[in-house]
């Protein structure tokens, strides 16, 4: 908007990156460096979309999650928190797998934030996120406030 105020129902950020990042940590969430991006919220529900490709040389299970200022996005809305598989469990055999997630996160107050994606794996070999010829992306859409629950 011309006056600098934020309206709900607008795209807050769309961020793409085309790099690769490998991590070896086991059962430890690791921030994906290319995913880090700033955004501003007016305090409405946030629809966060993530699209990433991951490569594993052996079968592994993994999980990725959106973080807002270093806190899992679901914490703001009081979503059930499971330390290991926060956003569900995904398995991969040898090779590439696409990981996409779209979810509405409520309770994030108005303000300026940093969004990042973290991933965790359970195998003892490295996992690679992204590739220079395979762009990854994350976007945040701030929705209009949700209607109150029906009686």
Q: What are the tens digits of pLDDT across the range 41-90?
A: 999 999 999 999 999 999 999 999 999 999 999 999 999 988 888 898 88
Predicted local distance difference test score (pLDDT) of residue 41: 94
Structure tokens at 23: 């991590």
Q: Could you give the CA distance from residue 106 to residue 146 in angstroms, rounded to a whole number?
A: 9
DSSP three-state, residue 38 = strand
Predicted local distance difference test score (pLDDT) of residue 71: 97
- pLDDT at position 94 over 90: no
CA distances from 138 to 17, 30, 50, 71 (A): 9, 17, 4, 17
- Read off the pLDDT band of 2 (50, 70, 90): very low
The size of the chain, in residues, is 151
The angle at the Cα of 136, spanning 13 to 42, to the nearest 5 degrees, equals 15
Structure tokens at 65: 């999650």
Q: What is the pTM of this model?
A: 0.90
- pLDDT at position 8 over 80: no
- pLDDT at position 3 over 60: no
Structure tokens at 126: 């490295």
Predicted local distance difference test score (pLDDT) of residue 28: 95
Predicted local distance difference test score (pLDDT) of residue 25: 96
**Helix (DSSP H) and strand (DSSP E) numbers for the chain:** 0, 12
Averaged pLDDT for residues 97-117? 95
Predicted local distance difference test score (pLDDT) of residue 104: 96
CA distances from 109 to 7, 17, 23, 134, 136 (A): 14, 27, 32, 33, 27
CA distances from 123 to 28, 56, 58, 103 (A): 11, 9, 8, 26
Q: Could you give the CA distance from residue 114 to residue 18 in angstroms, rounded to a whole number?
A: 19
């Amino acid at each position: 908007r011309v006056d600098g105020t934020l309206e709900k129902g607008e795209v807050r950020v769309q961020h793409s990156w085309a790099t690769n990042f490998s991590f070896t940590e086991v059962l430890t969430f690791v921030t994906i460096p290319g995913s880090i991006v700033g955004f501003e919220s007016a305090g409405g529900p946030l629809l966060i979309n993530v699209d990433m490709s991951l490569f594993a040389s052996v079968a592994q299970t993994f999980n990725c999650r959106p973080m807002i200022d270093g806190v899992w996005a679901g914490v703001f809305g009081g979503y059930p928190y499971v330390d290991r598989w926060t956003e569900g469990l995904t398995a991969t055999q040898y090779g590439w797998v696409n990981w996409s997630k779209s979810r509405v996160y409520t309770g994030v107050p108005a303000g300026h934030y940093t969004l990042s994606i973290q991933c965790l794996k359970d195998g003892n070999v490295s996992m690679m996120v992204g590739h220079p010829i395979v762009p990854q992306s994350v976007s945040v859409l701030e929705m209009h406030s949700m209607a109150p629950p029906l009686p």
